[in-house]
Amino acid sequence: MNLKPSFQYQLTDHLKSILFYYIIIICVFSVIICTTFVTVSSNVSFNGLEVATLVFLFVSGLCAFRENFLMLEQNSVSRKVIFYSRILTAVTICLIMAIIDKILLTIFAAVAMSSGDSIVVVSLFDLIYGANGGVVSSVGMQLIGFLFNFCFYITVFAFGYFITVLFYRLNKPGKVAVGVGVPVFLCIVLPILNSTLADGKIGRAYVKFVEFSMGLSAAGPANPAHAITSWLVYAAVFGLFSWLLLRRAVVK
Amino acid sequence: MSIEVKSITKYYGKTCALNDVSVTFDDNKIYGLLGRNGAGKTSLLSIISNRIFAENGTVAIDGMPAQENDAAIGRLYAMGEKTYYPESMRIKDVFKWTKLFYPQFDETYAKSLADQFGLKLNKKVKSLSTGFLTIFKLIVALSVNTPYLLLDEPVLGLDANNRDLFYRLLLEKYSNNPFTVIISTHLIEEVANLIEDVVIIKEGRIICSQAREKLLSDSYSVSGKIVDVDVYTAGKELLGCEVMAGFKTAYIMGQADYDNADGLEIAKVDLQKLFIQLTNI
Amino acid sequence: MQINTNSDKPIFLQIAEGMEDAILSGAFAEESQIPSITEFSVNYKINPATALKGINMLTDAGIVYKKRGLGMFVKTGAVEKLKDKRKHSFYQNFIEGLIAEAKRLQISKAEIQAMIEGGFDK
């Protein structure tokens, strides 16, 4: 069984870019700190870390299929084992990055505090679920915040992977159809439909759906557990579709 | 111990690449998988190595079903015309990873082969020329030590010296420690004496699978005046003919009939000539 | 020793006859080691089974023998044995053909004898 080497291989494949990513993040934060010292501008807010990580993970997911698949197939690894090792890799990477992000945010917050009130470091979770946009402090909420990040990361990673496997399986006309069709449908057809035929129903349904899956509601307190469950369900769905596509993928 | 291919059928769209193919590759033999361009050699090897799927049929490696079975496909290494290693990976890293996937991989031997072929270990896969890409893949194939080795066009882009070196290395390794090799190639003359068994594939069907020596001893050519040759070949299993200015050479399956061959010249046929006669349309 | 892959003669036979020639010429003395199957196979780029078949002919004829773990060696008396064998086939291989060709060319018995003597004296 080549599970361990496959996992090891895919993990190594990601580690280098993750290292680069964090070096850049730290540099960006340092630059922000320095500029605030120089310009003494007031109230700079640093709250993009998780979003940056999400974008990074999405792109990583997009780049994680073709080369790995061919390399592993060349080394007589079955698609089944490729998929299992993919899950292990995704969980490990997202866990590592969620932990690093937590640590970095804590350090950044401490640095920001000590440098006066000019910079505010806020996490994505605090931004969405914190009371009045403030900081959530209880240990329980911290833990839920961490879980929220981790699950969000996995979902986005799985989404990127799903898209790349989908494109690998599609033939040329299919690639064009999906590559052009989906954006056109989402950005042009759907809004037009929404404003003409559906009388804004589609838009409202979408907002409702997002509110529900994120555990946000106009009435009553926000519920992050909802969001965590949603992320896991989405991740499972993307994973399932990825597997259905992967299990008949051919080497080409 | 063998690779057993049973009733494999493979379509690409409406084109039938393999049509109910059944063939067995026994252990510790060198096979020549011969066929014209597009005959289905690569498809067959890709199905055996779990890279593509057949519409029908099964492959068993040492009795284990091969499809999606790590234990079965781990017993083979398939070197293809295409390169499936990451472009930015260095040769030495390919060796390192191969060792993890194939614990029997002999890294020291691989490095000594790289030295003999003049392949630099620090080079990246993408920086290799066609010839060196083949050399690199051959080195991995020769060092991986699996019971089954599938080589699809193993000398693509190699100069005469490197081809010679490869054949020598393969034979040295094989005669010291036999394993099964399936060589698919169109350079028949070069492998003619290397291989023990011949599998000939024509338009997706296996038309011949037997010992090379048996195949060659069961065939011969007769040449002479057209009329004489025609009289001789009547009722015999004729593979094909060549005619040149009233002079005819006929290729025949079976044993030569010297008693009725007055005025005719009977000769042995080499594998390449036989192949051409067998696979001509 | 040369292997001619275009020859009508099977390669294993060429290996056996080539080794016989080499032993007769003294290239491999009695009780000396002959190349291994691997060496034959690698040098002539032939399947080891083919080389083995050729060498087995020599083993069966009592020309060479196997020393366990060491390799193949020329048997004592192999040269005599080969000479006997070759003399035996000399008549069939050369004399019969010579006479048949001479008859076709209408060369007389005396002329042939003269030629042979001339050839020997050269």
CATH number at residue C61: 1.10.10.10
Residue B134's CB is within 10 A of a number of other CB atoms, namely 24
Residue A133: predicted pLDDT: 45
Contact A248 B53 (CB under 8 A): yes
Average pLDDT along chain A? 87
Asked if residues B45 and B152 have their Cβ atoms less than 8 Å apart, the reply is yes
DSSP B122: T
Q: Are residues C61 and C102 in the same domain?
A: no
**Does residue A40 carry a pLDDT above 80?**
no
Q: Are residues C23 and C63 in the same domain?
A: yes
By percentage, how much of chain C surpasses pLDDT 70? 100
- Structural domain tally of chain C? 2
DSSP B270: -
DSSP A187: I
By percentage, how much of chain B surpasses pLDDT 70? 100
Q: Are residues C68 and C87 in the same domain?
A: no
**Does residue A132 carry a pLDDT above 60?**
no
| Distances from the Cα of A252 to the Cα of A159, B5, B17, angstroms | 23, 22, 16
Residue C85: predicted pLDDT: 87
Q: Which two tokens stand for residue B151?
A: 């080589």
Q: Are residues C108 and C65 in the same domain?
A: no
In this predicted model, what pLDDT tens digit does every residue of C3-46 receive, in sequence order? Answer: 887 777 889 999 999 999 999 999 999 999 999 999 999 999 99
The Cα A36–Cα B165 span in angstroms is 67
Is C1 inside a domain boundary? Answer: no
Size of interface A-B (CB pairs under 8 A): 59
Residue A211: predicted pLDDT: 84
Least confident of A112-121, B124-133, B143-152: A112-121
| Residues 217-276 in B contacting A (C-alpha not used; CB under 8 Å) | none
**Does residue A136 carry a pLDDT above 60?**
no
Query: What domain range includes position C101?
Result: 81-120
- Of the candidates A28, A47, A210, the one whose C-alpha atom is nearest the C-alpha of residue A133 is A47
Residue B36: predicted pLDDT: 92
Contact status of B148 with chain A (Cβ, < 8 Å) = no
B172 closest CB neighbour out of C38, C44, C50: C38
In this predicted model, what pLDDT tens digit does every residue of B214-265 receive, in sequence order? Answer: 999 999 999 999 999 999 998 888 899 989 888 999 999 999 888 888 888 8
pLDDT band at residue A145 under the 50/70/90 scheme: confident
Q: Are residues C62 and C87 in the same domain?
A: no
Q: Are residues C72 and C86 in the same domain?
A: no
Q: Are residues C72 and C85 in the same domain?
A: no
Is C41 inside a domain boundary? Answer: yes
**Does residue A134 carry a pLDDT above 60?**
no
Cβ neighbors of A84 (< 8 A, separation 6 or more) are: A3, A6
Is C2 inside a domain boundary? Answer: no
Q: Are residues C73 and C85 in the same domain?
A: no
The mean per-residue pLDDT over the stretch C60-70 comes to 91
Report phi then psi at B179, rounded to 5. -150, 175
Residue A238: predicted pLDDT: 96
**Does residue A42 carry a pLDDT above 70?**
no
Q: Are residues C86 and C28 in the same domain?
A: no
Contact status of B70 with chain A (Cβ, < 8 Å) = yes
Contact C5 B268 (CB under 8 A): no
DSSP B90: B
| Distances from the Cα of C57 to the Cα of C13, C14, C27, C32, angstroms | 8, 11, 19, 18
Minimal Cα–Cα distance from B168 to chain C, Å? 5
Q: Are residues C15 and C73 in the same domain?
A: yes
**Does residue B122 carry a pLDDT above 70?**
yes
Q: Are residues C19 and C65 in the same domain?
A: yes
A79 contacts in chain B (CB < 8 Å): 68
Residue B125: predicted pLDDT: 96
Is C52 inside a domain boundary? Answer: yes
DSSP A247: T
Is C42 inside a domain boundary? Answer: yes
Q: Do chains C and A touch (3 or more CB pairs under 8 A)?
A: no
Is C3 inside a domain boundary? Answer: no
The mean per-residue pLDDT over the stretch A242-252 comes to 95
The Cα B9–Cα B20 span in angstroms is 5
The Cα A75–Cα B76 span in angstroms is 9
Q: Are residues C72 and C95 in the same domain?
A: no
Is C24 inside a domain boundary? Answer: yes
Is C38 inside a domain boundary? Answer: yes
The mean per-residue pLDDT over the stretch A96-117 comes to 86
Contact B50 A76 (CB under 8 A): yes
By percentage, how much of chain A surpasses pLDDT 70? 91
pLDDT band at residue A99 under the 50/70/90 scheme: very high
**Does residue B40 carry a pLDDT above 60?**
yes
Minimal Cα–Cα distance from A249 to chain B, Å? 8
Question: Which residue on chain B is closest to C7 by alpha carbon?
Answer: B268
Residue from B175, B219, B220 to probe the interface with C (highest C Cβ count within 10 Å) = B175
Contact status of B161 with chain C (Cβ, < 8 Å) = no
Question: Which residue on chain C is closest to B167 by alpha carbon?
Answer: C45
Helix (H, G, I), strand (E, B) or coil at C47: coil
Contacting B with CB below 8 Å, chain A residues are 1-2, 5-6, 8-9, 67, 70-71, 73-81, 247-248, 250-251
Residue C76: predicted pLDDT: 92
Q: Do chains B and C touch (3 or more CB pairs under 8 A)?
A: yes
